[in-house]
Each structure stands twice: as C-alpha cells, then as structure tokens.
Structure 1
Amino acid sequence: MTEPTKTKNLDQHGAPALPWSRARDLLATQTPKEDLTFFVGTVRPDGRPHAAGVGAIWVDDALYFVSGDGTRRARNLAANPACSVSVRLKGLDLTLEGEAERISDPATLERVAAVYREGGWTATVYEGGFNATFMAPSAGPAPWFLYRLVPARAIGVACAEPYGASRWDFTP
C-alpha cells in the first residue's frame, strides 16, 4: 500500500480533504518513540465487539501489534481477522480498518523487533513470536505473536491546523 485509491472529504465545514501523507508520516515518525496507545477493535464469535489497548508500530507501510495467544483479541482474530485500530496522533485522530494477519516470517519478526527496540521495548524473536523483559500483565506468557494490519480503509480527523476530516480507501 502506498497511496489510497480513493479519498473522500468528510469535513462539513469547508476544509479541503486531508492528504494520506499526513497520517502516514505521523505514523512513521511517532511510532515507536512517542507514548501512544493504540486500541484494537475485534469481533467476538457471537458478534459482540471487543476493544483492547496495544503497543503498535508502523513499519514499511503497515501497522504491527502483538498479542498473547490466549487473549480475547487473538482468539477473535483467529476466528475473524477483520479489525480496526484507533490512535490519537499529534494533531490527528486516526482509525485504520482491515484484516490482521499473524506474521511468523523470521526476517519480518527480526525487522519489527528491531523497530520495537528503537522505542524501548526489549523485544527479541522467540518461538515464532516475541519475548521481552516486560509485557502487559494480561498478555500471558511468551511467545507474544505479531500481527500485521495493512489498511483497507483509514479515517482521519484533524484536531490541529490544518483542520479537516477524510476517509482513504486502499482497495480497488
């Protein structure tokens, strides 16, 4: 994914559509070094929603996050990979929508672990996932598995100048 296939201006006050580059550049520069909390929304097997905070990072035009194998989030994604991830970046509230894919490729795990370490999380590749000196208490024991969300759609609402609101679609 490089550029959206379609942009829709959602602003109702006359501001122009926001460029995707604004959201993409904020993700690239603020993760993993800023103190950001991302929220992953998934769907339970009975259709009820579930949301949980995660540490996520933007690497090579995709959003990565981890989950313990026994968590509600991981069980939901195993049954239905559709999810959303929301975050407040500096000047932009952003929601990404798409399908999360569990990643086990050693080269990708190493690359993403290195980026996590740049931000201070001591991730190392371990048994097809990650291990570290710290993980959320609710995550269960390592390994913590890596998921990649390549957005199919994103929605951004600017809370700093230049203001505006846009939806970006990345599928044909």
Structure 2
Amino acid sequence: MTEPTATQNLDRSGSAALPWSRARDLLATQTPKEDLTFFVGTVRPDGRPHAAGVGAIWVDDTLYFVSGPGTRRARNLAANPACSVSVRLRGLDLTMEGEAHRVAEPEVLERVAAVYREGGWPATVEDGGFNAPFMAASAGPAPWHLYRLTLHRAVGVATAEPHGAARWDFSR
C-alpha cells in the first residue's frame, strides 16, 4: 500500500491536515466508474511544459494512465519520466507528482484492462498495450501504451467538509 512518509499541513485557516487515506479512497471509489478528467503534465525536450487529458485509473494502490505511443506526452515521458497528474475528485482537488514508466508486464496489463472494462472502456491487451473499439482521436492507432505513476509527492485541497489542505511525500 502506498503510504506517505511525511505529511505537511498546508491549510492556513486552522483546519487539520488532510489524511492521505481521503485521497486514496476517493481515487479507489471514483475510478474508473465516474466521469473524471485527469491531466498529465510533462516536460518537452526543450524544457517547455506540456499538458494533456488522459484516461487514468487507480488500481491496487497505483495510478495508471494510457497514451498513444506517438503522442507528445509519450515522447516526453520517454525522454524524461518526471510528470504530474491532476484531477478534481468529489470533494478534493488532487495533484500527484512522480515518474511515469511504460508497463509491459502481461499480468499487469491484463489486471488494469479488466478494471478499465468494469468502468465501460472495453480494453483488451494486444502487442504490449491496449486495443479497444474507441479511444481519444488524438491518441493515434492502437496499441496504446499503459504507464504506471510512481508517486513522489501529492497535494490535496478539500473542496468539501472537512476542509483542509495537505502535501504528502512518499519515499523514493
């Protein structure tokens, strides 16, 4: 289980620090069943930022997302795996920072594809990635690559009671 090694209270109004369990539990219950938009931020080779929406899910205490191999984000991650992933969950805005690496292990691909199917995306494993009858037009042709985010840090800001804000650091 991914647990933070340190928590810092970022709330300036007196609320207690948010527990990581709040963010983790929301990720576990809201993905892939709810219509959430995740944004991955990467760095281009020339240092300029790049952000793009992705289909992401939380499986077995890990965030995974999909990208076409020819997309700007996939090319950026191949050169520099450092990235951020942001999402607005029910009652919590969350940004996660870490490194994303492509997943090629068949058993992980099968497990994650099964969870995507539970959420309504009929993903199948093919040629070390995913295939499905539909995908974002910007993803390019299948197979689409799966990436695993290794968390280094996350920041959460509550938008519902109990309010608060926290930064969670994870050991590397």
Structure 1 residue 148, shift from structure 2 partner = 0.3
Structure 1 residue 171, shift from structure 2 partner = 1.2
Match of 1:95 in 2: 95
Structure 1 residue 150, shift from structure 2 partner = 2.1
Q: CA RMSD in A?
A: 0.7
Structure 1 residue 111, shift from structure 2 partner = 0.1
User: Size of the alignment, in residue pairs?
Assistant: 172
Q: Contact 1:61–1:150 (CA<8 Å) still a contact in 2?
A: no
Q: Once the two structures are superposed, what CA deviation does each residue of 1:72-115 show, in whole Å capped at 9, x if it has no partner?
A: 00000000000000000000000010000100000000000000
Q: Distance in 1 between matches of 2:155 and 2:116?
A: 25
Structure 1 residue 165, shift from structure 2 partner = 0.3
Match of 1:85 in 2: 85
Q: Identical aligned pairs, as a percentage?
A: 82
Match of 1:168 in 2: 168
Q: Distance in 2 between matches of 1:165 and 1:10?
A: 5
SS in structure 2 of the partner of residue 8 of structure 1: strand
SS in structure 1 of the partner of residue 74 of structure 2: helix
TM-score by length of 1: 0.99
Q: Which runs of 5+ in 2 are unaligned?
A: none
Which 4+ runs in 1 deviate beyond 4 A?
Answer: none
One-letter code of the match for 2:49? P
Q: Contact 1:7–1:169 (CA<8 Å) still a contact in 2?
A: yes
SS in structure 2 of the partner of residue 34 of structure 1: coil
Match of 1:45 in 2: 45
Match of 1:105 in 2: 105
SS in structure 1 of the partner of residue 151 of structure 2: coil
Match of 1:36 in 2: 36
Structure 1 residue 143, shift from structure 2 partner = 0.5
Instruction: Say whether residues 1:56 and 2:51 are aligned partners.
Output: no
One-letter code of the match for 1:146? L
Q: Distance in 2 between matches of 1:90 and 1:104?
A: 31
SS in structure 2 of the partner of residue 36 of structure 1: coil
Match of 2:147 in 1: 147
TM-score by length of 2: 0.99
